Amino acid sequence: MKAHLTRRYRFSASHRLHSAEMSEEENRRVYGKCNNPYGHGHNYALEVTVAGQVDPHTGMVCDLVELDEFVGREVLERFGHENLNYLEAFQRLVPTTENLCVEIYGVLARGFRAATVERVRLEETMMNSFEYCGESRELQIGT
Amino acid sequence: MVYLTRRAEFSASHYYHNPELTPEENRRLFGKCNNPHGHGHNYTLEVTVRGPVDPRSGFVMDLAELKEILNREVLDAMDHRFLNREVPEFRDRIPTTENLAIAIWQRLEPRLKFAELHRVRVYETPDLFVDHYGEP
């Protein structure tokens, strides 16, 4: 039997939304307050969904300790309490939550081997969230 | 097609143990969850059914009936119970959240007549949940 397991994590980081391809005025118009040159921060909530057959031996899709260690090392340590604009991944990419969500999905989908990473959902605040399932997959809603 | 989700809560205890493994292997694999006296969770269950909206009632299904099925099939059997000892499915299956979602699906699916079961979601804690869509 197949099951989809979702684990929720939290991290805090700062960013500034500013595109080198736009003029100062255009940046201010498009990003508003988020363009403040000193940056600002969020408490992000991250949901990682992995899917696979339930192992009859363990009753699990994957070892939760392994998932926690991987996400801790590759995501929380890497992005937590950082200014995202200074990180390698965002030297050419504006650190919007869309881009951060896609970046985190890439890190997990490429590196985590114990189960299939199916979806990453990232909440920037309690009012907005973003989801990415890779290019080849649509959201499960409606299946 | 409209999707209807009903939420319910139950509290239960469990422990993880595979009788085919040695006590050391069980401890290594399951850690604290292997304590044979069990530990508990406040589970939150979300059951989603789907179907066309009935033109006469305006419902996907009668919510009172869904609630009654949930109470009878899930809450009466699992609320304030030791899952390993008191719920028959877990005599030979480890009561992980994955297996709990599957067992609840198997209990509900044959009972639903007027709408189709779409998803069973079980939260073990606010930070961990499992979805089952009836996929083999």
Would you call B136 an interface residue with chain A, using a CB distance cutoff of 8 Å?
yes
The CA-atom distances, in angstroms, between B10 and each of B46, B63, B64, B76, B103 are 11, 19, 18, 9, 15
pLDDT in tens, A2-27: 999 999 999 999 999 999 999 999 99
Tell me the average pLDDT of chain A.
95
B103 to chain A: closest CA residue: A1
Is the separation of the CB atoms in A18 and A38 below 8 Å? no
Quote helix, strand, coil % in chain B, to nearest 5.
40, 30, 30
Would you give the distance in Å from CA B96 to the centre of its chain? Answer: 10
The closest alpha carbon to B108, from B96, B93, B119, belongs to B119
Across the interface, do B94 and A58 touch by the CB < 8 Å criterion?
A: yes
Across the interface, do B133 and A4 touch by the CB < 8 Å criterion?
A: yes
pLDDT band at A138 (very low <50, low <70, confident <90, very high): low
Average pLDDT over residues A110-119: 97
Is the separation of the CB atoms in B83 and B69 below 8 Å? no
Instruction: Answer whether residue A137 shows pLDDT above 70.
Output: no
The beta strand positions in B15-67, using DSSP E, are: 39-51
Instruction: Answer whether residue A132 shows pLDDT above 70.
Output: yes
- pTM for the model: 0.92
B127 to chain A: closest CA residue: A8
pLDDT in tens, B4-32: 999 999 999 999 999 999 999 999 999 99
* Least CB–CB distance from A2: residue in B93, B127, B136: B136
Q: So what's the pLDDT on residue B85?
A: 97
Q: So what's the pLDDT on residue B105?
A: 98
* Cβ-Cβ contacts under 8 Å, B129 against chain A: 5-6
* Residues of A forming the active site: 34, 81, 124
* Cβ-Cβ contacts under 8 Å, B131 against chain A: 3-6, 49, 140
What interface predicted TM-score (ipTM) does this complex get? 0.92
Strand order in the sheet with B2-14: A128-132, A116-125, A40-53, A2-15, B128-132, B116-125, B39-51, B2-14, B81-82
Q: So what's the pLDDT on residue B17?
A: 96
Phi, psi of B62 (to 5 degrees): -70, 115
Average pLDDT over residues A133-142: 68
Give the CA dihedral A52, A56, A57, A62, nearest 10 degrees.
20
Would you give the distance in Å from CA A77 to the centre of its chain? Answer: 13
Q: So what's the pLDDT on residue A139?
A: 57
Report the C-alpha gap between B70 and B72 in whole angstroms: 6
Instruction: Answer whether residue B48 shows pLDDT above 60.
Output: yes
Q: Residue B67 burial (CB < 10 Å; 0-12/13-18/19+)?
A: middle
Average pLDDT over residues B72-82: 98
Across the interface, do A59 and B96 touch by the CB < 8 Å criterion?
A: yes
